[in-house]
Amino acid sequence: MKRFKWLFAALLLILIIGACSNSSDESAKETEGDKPKEEEDSVYPITPDIDSLDPEDPKTEAILYGEEVFNETNVVMPDHVGNELSCQSCHADGGLSVSSSLVGVVADYPQYRPRENVTFTLEDRVNGCMIRSMNGEMMETDSEEMRGLIAYMTFLSEGYEIGTAERPWAAPSNKEEIPEPNVVAGEELYEEKNCLTCHATDGSGTGANTGPALWGENSFNDGAGMGRLTKITGYIQNNMPIGDEYDLTDQEAVDLGAFILMQDRPVFAGHADDFPEMENPPSDIITEERRKAIQEGTFDWSEIEAVKVAE
Ligand code: HEC
Ligand code: HEC
C-alpha cells in the first residue's frame, strides 16, 4: 500500500483540480481496486497532447524532431550515444509515463545540483544524462538535436508555471530504506519474473525501446542515477516487469537491482569530481570496485546507508 502513496496523492490533486474546474469527467474516475496504473494518463493537471500541435507553426518541426531524438536517441545520434539506449529506455512513453516523468520539467529549471555543485540549466541536465545514462558525449548546446530536445521538453511543460511547479507524479523512484540484497535470489528472480524475455539472459537487451541493455557495454555507465542501488530498486518496483508493475516486494526489487548492478558495465571517468561540496555524498553508487567485491561475495552491504541489514 505504501508504494502507492504518492500516486494516490497525485490522484487526489487531480480530483481537487477536477472539482475546481468543474470537470466532472475527471473527478468521476474510479479510485477503488488499488489500480493506480490505470489512472496513469490522468495524473497530470495538464496532459501534453502531441497531436494537438499546429503543423503550420514553424516550432512544431523542432518539437517533433525532439520527440524523435528522445525516442530513438541511439539511432539518431550514434556519434554521441555510447550505448544502445534511448531517453525512452528510462523515461518511458516519450517522458509521459508517470514513472520518470518529464511532464512539467522545464518549470523546475534552472536547479542547483549537488552532484556537480553547479546551478544547472535544462541543457546541462540533458548533457548529464548524455555522459552518464547514455555513456556518451555532451551535445553542443546549439545543435539541432539539443534544440529539439529542449523544444520537446518545453512542449511537455506547457502551462506549468516556472518555479512554482509541483510535480508529485515525478517523485523520484529512489527508496529511503531497502532490505539487504540477496544477489543469488536476484539471479533466480531475473528468470522467474521474466526479465530475461525482454532484457536477454545476458542483460544485453533486445532493443532500446523493447528491452534496453541492463548491463554490459551497451548499458548506462556507473555514474548514472540508475547505477545507484536505491534508484534502480525504486525504478524496478514502479515499472517492471512491464505488464505486471507494482507487483514486486521491496526484497525482490532490491535483489534484482543488486543482481543487475553487480554485473560489469562501462565505468564513468568523472566519479572523483562528483559531489564536491557534500559532506555525506550518496553511499549507494555501485562502482567497479564494489562490483568486484559483490561478485566475490565480500561486499559489506551496511556500507550503503539505506540498507537495513536484518538482525
Ligand atoms: C539509464 C536510464 C536513463 C536514461 C537512458 C536517461 N535518463 Fe534522464 N534520468 C534518469 C534518472 C534515474 C533520473 C533522475 C536522476 C536523479 O534522481 O538524480 C533522470 C533525470 C532526468 C532529467 C531531470 C528530471 C527532473 O525532474 O529534474 C532530465 C531532464 C532527463 N533525465 C532527461 C533525459 C534525456 C533527454 C535523456 C536522453 C538523452 C535521458 N534523460 C536518458 C535516467 C535516465
Ligand atoms: C515485456 C518486456 C519487459 C519485461 C518483462 C521487463 N522489462 Fe524492463 N524494460 C522494458 C522496456 C521496454 C524498458 C524501457 C522503459 C519502458 O518502456 O518502460 C525497460 C526498462 C528497464 C530498466 C531501465 C533501463 C535500463 O536499461 O536499465 C530496468 C532497470 C529494467 N527494465 C529492469 C527490469 C527487470 C528487473 C525486469 C524483471 C522484473 C524487467 N525489466 C522486465 C521491457 C521489459
CA distance 141 to 150: 10
- At residue 115, the pLDDT reads 80
- At residue 272, the pLDDT reads 81
- At residue 268, the pLDDT reads 95
Give the type of residue at 116.
E
The ligand minimizing its distance to the Cα of 192 is 2
242 lines ligand 2 (CB under 6 A): yes
Rounded to 5°, angle at Cα 87 from 238 and 73: 155
**The three three-digit cell numbers of residue 177, written as one number:** 530504506
How far, in Å, from the CA of 114 to the mean position of ligand 2? 28
CA distances (Å), origin 110, targets 123, 144, 153, 174: 10, 21, 14, 22
Candidate CATH numbers 3.30.420.40, 3.40.50.720, 3.40.50.1820, 1.10.760.10; the one for domain 50-170 = 1.10.760.10
Mutate to test the pocket of ligand 2, among 88, 97, 102, 240 (most ligand atoms within 8 A of CB): 240
- At residue 248, the pLDDT reads 96
CA distance 207 to 211: 5
Using DSSP, state whether 246 is helix, strand or coil.
coil
CA dihedral (208, 179, 286, 105) positive or negative: positive
198 lines ligand 2 (CB under 6 A): yes
How far, in Å, from the CA of 129 to the mean position of ligand 1? 6
Choose among 157, 49, 159, 173: nearest CA to 109: 157
How far, in Å, from the CA of 81 to the mean position of ligand 2? 19
- At residue 42, the pLDDT reads 64
134 lines ligand 2 (CB under 6 A): no
Tell me if domain 50-170 and domain 178-308 are identical in fold: yes
How far, in Å, from the CA of 211 to the mean position of ligand 2? 6
The atom number, within ligand 1, closest to the CA of 225 reads 12
The ligand minimizing its distance to the Cα of 152 is 1
Give the type of residue at 86.
S
Question: Within 13 Å and on the Cβ side, how many CA atoms surround 26?
Answer: 22
CA distances (Å), origin 74, targets 65, 130, 135: 14, 11, 11
The atom number, within ligand 2, closest to the CA of 89 reads 14
CA distances (Å), origin 174, targets 3, 238, 282: 11, 10, 12
pTM: 0.87
Architecture of domain 178-308: Orthogonal Bundle (1.10)
How far, in Å, from the CA of 172 to the mean position of ligand 1? 10
Q: Give the pLDDT confidence of 160-200 residue by residue, as tens digits.
A: 988 876 788 877 677 889 999 999 999 999 999 999 999 99
CA distance 40 to 98: 6
Report which protein residue has its CA nearest ligand 1's atom 42.
90
Percent of the chain with pLDDT over 70: 85
Using DSSP, state whether 35 is helix, strand or coil.
coil
- At residue 52, the pLDDT reads 93
212 lines ligand 2 (CB under 6 A): yes
Kindly list the domain boundaries of the chain, sorted by start residue.
Answer: 2-42, 50-170, 178-308
- At residue 167, the pLDDT reads 85
- At residue 3, the pLDDT reads 40
Which residue ranges of the chain lie beneath pLDDT 70? 1-42, 165, 172, 311
256 lines ligand 2 (CB under 6 A): yes
Cβ proximity of 212 and 89 under 8 Å: yes
Which residues surround ligand 1 with Cβ inside 6 Å?
73, 85, 87, 89-91, 102, 105, 108, 125-126, 129-130, 133-134, 149, 170, 172, 220, 224-226, 231
